[in-house]
Structure 1
Amino acid sequence: MGKRTKLIVGSGVVGLVVVALAIFFLFFRDSAPVSVDSVEAAEARQEAIAAAVAGSGDATADAAQPTAAVESADDAYADDEGETELDSGQPDSNASVGAATDGVWSIDTSIGTFDATCLTDVCGSSFAGFRINEELANFGAKTVVGRTPGVSGSLELVDTQVIGAEFVVDMTGLITDNNSRTGALRGPNGGIETAVFPEARFELTQPIELGSVPAEGASIQVQAVGNLTVHGVTNTVTIPLTAELQAGVIIVFGNLEGMLLSDYDIAKPTAAVVVSVEDNATMELQLFFSR
């Protein structure tokens, strides 16, 4: 074999290796994003809220300034029997403890940005989705993550209780990091059949006792009991959730592990390269609420 022939053959082998590596990198590598209870996710949420607060602050600062100046002047000259009334800057001890958070809070999708990094790295916006493990021929195990920013709904707080909550998920917007996998997930041959079942829904059926009014920056772990409807099937579930109050925004996030596909009549998606798919998935959610 001549040198030129060897060079051509060698170049061909290198080319095949490069192509194989590219296919693996694009389609089969495990590029699952971090979980919602990770440190990275917490940092992303903080950054998203800080950006939202900064944006709203710039828009309202000038309008609020004249009012603040008038109120300050009024306070300076307010008196009762000749004595000046001073504002201590402390909360009124006679005010209702629930006054700061009571009411209906709605999911705010304007906070953060849902983009490609939400499927491969970390996400700082509202979303709902799932994780499931699959076994690929010749490539081993991979964690598949599907998420959608199409989430709407609200919760209602009265004093230290969440007395109602309902979330609706647009399943037609559910995507993964691979178009082919997304198509299989949505299609009729296994998957969630979004053309037939375009929505998933969770409705709280028992009030949640928080124990105390959420304090700024503090986290509260709760158990949300309610009806979860996916693929047209409704089951009663208990979802472990974490709730936080940051800069006037309520954040709720958590995972429902061990969610059996068979409990929701969901057939396992099939593909030529997929050896097997686990029957149990993890549902995850991250929601920002404002009012």
Structure 2
Amino acid sequence: MICLTRRGLALVVLLLSSSPLPPMPARASQSFVVKPSKNAVIFNSNAPIELIEGHTDKLKGSISIDEDLNFNKDFSAEFNVDLASIDTGIALRNEHMRDNFLQTAKFPEAVFKVSKVTGDHEAFAQGKPVSVIADGSVTIHGVTLEQKIPVTVTLKRKNSKPSLTFTGKFPVKLEDYKIQRPEVVFQKLADTVFVTVSATAINN
């Protein structure tokens, strides 16, 4: 009788050890979306002959952050810019930019993806402007490259509902993204264009 009990106990232990453990519950997060009326994207080309600036407010984006708003623990984001909507202030130049330069019929969007953010999350939680480094990728003209982008971000609360305001600036070297400058603007366009993104994202 004792022998059977030991065999039965051994069988139970074997079955338990071979059973898969239940999955760990996923950590909750907070989601934010870019507010349509509170964003701006500026493309700045400062060539020796001429300063060219292009503007658009056609930015869509979403952000996911740790439930405690600790971006060092969990953060991801994606932003999409409608390149065909860029306005340089001159209609003919806009046409050249779309058709010959950015080729927006084939590559309609610029995409910024962020997989990691590092910075002072405690100051951020207190509502102070914080300088962070956003690690991710930039896709323009069908080419995706890794980027580390310095960003200033501020947490604001209105009626206990949080929102994020942020501004980031980074260089885009045309050659790296296989963008050829059309002859009509060859001397007027810098080799490197600086992109500034400013937006407010609201908690949803």
- TM-score, length-normalised on structure 2? 0.74
Hey, what does 2:57 align to over in structure 1? 149
2:107 paired with 1:197: yes
Hey, what does 2:150 align to over in structure 1? 240
2:193 paired with 1:270: no
Tell me which of the two structures has the higher relative contact order, counting C-alpha pairs closer than 8 angstroms and 6 or more residues apart: 2
Note the C-alpha offset of 1:207.
4.3
Note the C-alpha offset of 1:286.
0.4
Q: Is the 8 A contact 2:163 2:200 kept in 1?
A: yes
Q: Residues of 2 paired with 1:284 and 1:207: CA distance? A: 18
Q: Residues of 2 paired with 1:270 and 1:287: CA distance? A: 34
Give the letter aligned to residue 244 of structure 1: T
2:106 paired with 1:106: no
The 3-state SS of whatever aligns with 2:50 is strand
Q: Is the 8 A contact 2:52 2:189 kept in 1?
A: no
Alignment match of 1:214 (pick from 120, 125, 136)? 125
Give the letter aligned to residue 61 of structure 2: G
Alignment match of 1:133 (pick from 42, 46, 61)? 46
Q: Residues of 1 paired with 2:36 and 2:97: CA distance? A: 24
How many pairs align? 167
Hey, what does 2:23 align to over in structure 1? none
Give me the CA root mean square deviation: 2.1
1:28-107 mapped onto 2 (5 Å cutoff): 103-107=30-34
2:84 paired with 1:178: no
Hey, what does 1:256 align to over in structure 2? 170
Structure 1 residues 184 and 163: CA distance shift in structure 2, 3 A: same
Q: Deviations over 1:13-33 (max 9, x none)?
A: xxxxxxxxxxxxxxxxxxxxx
Structure 1 residues 276 and 173: CA distance shift in structure 2, 3 A: closer
The 3-state SS of whatever aligns with 1:205 is strand
Q: Is the 8 A contact 1:163 1:208 kept in 2?
A: no
Q: Deviations over 1:72-92 (max 9, x none)?
A: xxxxxxxxxxxxxxxxxxxxx
Q: Which runs of 4+ in 1 moved over 6 A?
A: none
Give the letter aligned to residue 275 of structure 1: Q
Structure 1 residues not aligned, in runs of 5+? 1-98, 111-124, 136-140
Give the letter aligned to residue 170 of structure 2: L
- TM-score, length-normalised on structure 1? 0.53
Q: Residues of 2 paired with 1:255 and 1:146: CA distance? A: 14
Q: Is the 8 A contact 2:137 2:145 kept in 1?
A: yes
Structure number having the greater helix percentage:
1
Q: Is the 8 A contact 1:269 1:277 kept in 2?
A: no
Hey, what does 1:231 align to over in structure 2? 141
Share of identical aligned residues, percent?
Answer: 26
2:62 paired with 1:164: no
Q: Is the 8 A contact 2:59 2:82 kept in 1?
A: yes
Look at both structures and tell me which one has the larger radius of gyration over its CA atoms: 1
Q: Deviations over 1:84-128 (max 9, x none)?
A: xxxxxxxxxxxxxxx9xx610110113xxxxxxxxxxxxxx3022
